[in-house]
């Protein structure tokens, strides 16, 4: 009997990490749909904890932009940020090396701003042979046009564009498990 393949970019808990980019105090209030970004980032963090998959986050120029907002910090617990001055997370210390060392080949991205730090990070991750899935409902910019063009550009260069709920159920793969019940509660 022939065995059928699954799509090779489907997310799996053992190889996938969540990367939260720069959801910081001083810039968040001017971001379009910022509450949606915060709510979906929290769902992703909780879902990744349920699935026992690693979570990373960055902070850009904290002197000017402040630190990660408190509701997200509360979910992150004792996870430490990767500080950066570059727009791309490729300049966030040894973050990319850490992802490789832990054999994490698939990276789920949420954060701000879509057309600057998120886009440059996504493109650099792809260039370094990571498979990237973007939670489109967990990303935004100040202006809708910047968000829209960034999403399209990242898609053209190989990023999978998805949503928070789709990402979490993709990582689950099957229903009927205790993890499924927990994730189902998160997305309602």
85-104 pLDDT per residue, tens: 999 999 999 999 999 999 99
Q: How far apart are CA 98 and CA 94, in angstroms?
A: 6
Can you give the residue ranges of every domain in the chain?
16-187
pLDDT reading at 148 higher than 80 = yes
Q: How far apart are CA 23 and CA 186, in angstroms?
A: 20
Cα 155 to Cα 131, 145, 149, 150: the distances in Å are: 12, 15, 10, 8
Tokens of 52: 């026992």
Residues designated catalytic: 22, 84, 117
pLDDT at 184: 92
Q: How far apart are CA 154 and CA 119, in angstroms?
A: 7
pLDDT reading at 157 higher than 80 = yes
Superfamily of domain 16-187 in CATH is Isochorismatase-like (3.40.50.850)
Q: How far apart are CA 27 and CA 64, in angstroms?
A: 9
pLDDT reading at 188 higher than 90 = no
């Amino acid at each position: 009997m022939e065995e059928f393949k699954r799509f090779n970019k489907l997310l799996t808990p053992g190889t996938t990490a969540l990367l939260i980019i720069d959801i910081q105090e001083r810039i968040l209030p001017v971001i379009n749909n910022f509450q949606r970004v915060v709510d979906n980032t929290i769902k992703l963090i909780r879902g990744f904890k349920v699935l026992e998959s690693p979570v990373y986050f960055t902070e850009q120029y904290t002197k000017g932009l402040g630190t990660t907002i408190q509701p997200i910090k509360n979910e992150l617990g004792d996870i430490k940020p990767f500080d950066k001055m570059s727009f791309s997370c490729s300049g966030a210390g040894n973050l990319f090396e850490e992802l490789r060392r832990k054999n994490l080949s698939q990276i789920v991205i949420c954060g701000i701003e879509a057309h600057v730090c998120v886009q440059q990070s996504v493109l650099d991750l792809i260039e370094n042979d990571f498979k990237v899935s973007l939670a489109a409902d967990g990303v935004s910019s100040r202006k809708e046009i910047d968000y829209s063009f960034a999403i399209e550009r990242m898609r053209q260069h190989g990023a999978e564009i998805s949503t928070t709920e789709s990402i979490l159920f993709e990582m689950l793969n099957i229903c009927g498990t205790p993890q499924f019940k927990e994730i189902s509660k998160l997305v309602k």
